Amino acid sequence: MGLHKRKKEMCVVLGEDGDEDVDELESRREDLRTRRDDRDLQHMNTRLRIGFEDVIGEPGSAHSFDGIWVGTHATFELTKYVFYKLHTILLALPVSIAGALLFALLSCVHIWAVAPAIQGFSVVLPSIQTTWTSCMDVLLMPLSCCLSRCVSAVAGKLGQDENPEHSPQSGFRS
């Protein structure tokens, strides 16, 4: 049994060999942390991930000092972190309020306008359906029967012409 303190985290380990248990716990904690940080578990939006090398990079033929890239990488990560937090603070509340208002408006319209309209139409629609069916039977049924008899007499054949002299693609002969 031992008390171990690492990286501002405290854990109590029960067992004979405390160091192995701590390493195992830390590896589990790292696995959980990477799974928690990875919001794209199905990897559907891998093209949207942006890294430091994508924004700030240099050609392979020219290299500058390593210290410069360490500093620019740190600046990039810090700026990205600060602006993400700043935008989250500034936009989270207004966007959530706008979403709530939109959802409330859609719910109100559905409850007080759409649902009663559907109920009203369901009362009237059976009589309209009967009238519509009768009109279609009287007006369009004879026309469609006539057209189907005319078109059924048309026959077509697909294939190549075996005599190329009489084909229209052979062009003019003199």
pLDDT tens digits for 64-99? 777 887 888 889 899 999 999 999 999 999 999 999
Please check whether residue 56 lies inside any domain of the structure. Answer: no
With beta carbons less than 8 A apart as the criterion, state whether 2 and 13 touch: yes
Please check whether residue 55 lies inside any domain of the structure. Answer: no
| 44 band by pLDDT with thresholds 50, 70 and 90 | confident
| Number of helices (H), then strands (E), in the chain | 4, 2
d(CA 174, CA 167): 15
Do residues 70 and 136 share a domain? yes
Please check whether residue 168 lies inside any domain of the structure. Answer: no
Please check whether residue 158 lies inside any domain of the structure. Answer: no
| Structural domains counted in the chain | 2
pLDDT for res 154: 82
Please check whether residue 174 lies inside any domain of the structure. Answer: no
Do residues 15 and 74 share a domain? no
Please check whether residue 19 lies inside any domain of the structure. Answer: yes
**Residue 14: which domain range?**
1-40
Name which residue leads in pLDDT, 107 or 127. Answer: 107
The mean per-residue pLDDT over the stretch 124-151 comes to: 90
The answer to which of 13-27, 49-63, 88-102 has the lowest mean pLDDT is 13-27
Does position 12 have pLDDT exceeding 60, yes or no? no
